[in-house]
Amino acid sequence: MANGLRSFIASIAKSSPPKGPSAAYASPHILKLIMLLDKRESMGRIALSKALEVGEGTVRTMVKKLVESGIIEVDSIGGCTLTERGRSLAAELNGFIVSSSSLDLRSLGIEMPSHALQVRAAISNTSLTKLRDIAVKSGAEGMVIFQYKGGTLTFPMMTDDASATYPEIAYQISARFELREGDTVLVGFAERAVNAEIGALGAAIYLFSS
């Protein structure tokens, strides 16, 4: 993947966590903020706070960090917008996380809200536990992982053909994502939908960086 996004992710992951109650964010929140601005072009701090479901103090800290990094700029009237560098990073991010959607996981016995990310990256069985751990540490309650391999949607370590064993889930994924060979679908789930998404983003960051 492109070095620009990789370097940026490494920089926010390695930076010392800010202290205080208004700093309850991590790398996935930063990426989600960039994704929000990429889709909506401009947002104020209050709107970002509601979309991210974090306090306004947290958003102020995140915005300050991104302004200092040259990723966003702030206008007193127009709100926060991506800079040219920010748009470039967003384009790279969109080339890795190509689509996202909620999924109904009740056929797997999971009643909680979920958020699925289609990512352009292959996985190995040895990384599955790590990805789930990262998702949980990032805020999700858990994660299920699918991969499109050999023209078939697989559920690694469970089945080589998800459409035969878990047809409801396979149908949802096939209907919502245009899968390519080697694509991975990371599905975080949590009591709050935003935590499911943040958890999935945390796993995506690890997969991108590894």
26: confidence class by pLDDT, cuts 50, 70, 90: confident
22: confidence class by pLDDT, cuts 50, 70, 90: very low
Which residue(s) pair with 117 in the sheet?
Answer: 100, 186
Question: Distance between CA 206 and CA 128 in Å, rounded?
Answer: 11
Task: Tell me phi and psi for residue 44, to 5 degrees.
Answer: -85, 170
Longest dimension (CA), the chain: 55
> Per-residue pLDDT tens for 115-174?
999 999 888 766 899 999 999 999 999 999 999 999 999 998 889 999 999 999 999 999
Instruction: Please tell me the predicted confidence (pLDDT) of residue 16.
Output: 45
The residue with tokens 């302004």 is 67
Please state the domain extents for the chain. 3-93, 102-209
Helix, strand, coil proportions of the chain in percent (round to 5)? 55, 20, 30
Question: Distance between CA 186 and CA 203 in Å, rounded?
Answer: 8
CATH number belonging to domain 102-209 = 3.30.1360.30
> Per-residue pLDDT tens for 74-120?
998 879 999 999 999 999 999 999 999 999 999 999 999 999 999 99
Task: Tell me phi and psi for residue 6, to 5 degrees.
Answer: -60, -45
pLDDT exceeds cutoff 70 at 18: no
In this structure, are strands 114-119 and 97-101 parallel, antiparallel, or unpaired?
A: antiparallel
User: Higher model confidence: residue 109 or residue 23?
Assistant: 109
Q: What percent of the chain has pLDDT over 70?
A: 91
Question: Going by CATH, does the domain composed of 3-93 fall within 1.10.287.110?
Answer: no
| Mean pLDDT estimate for the chain | 89
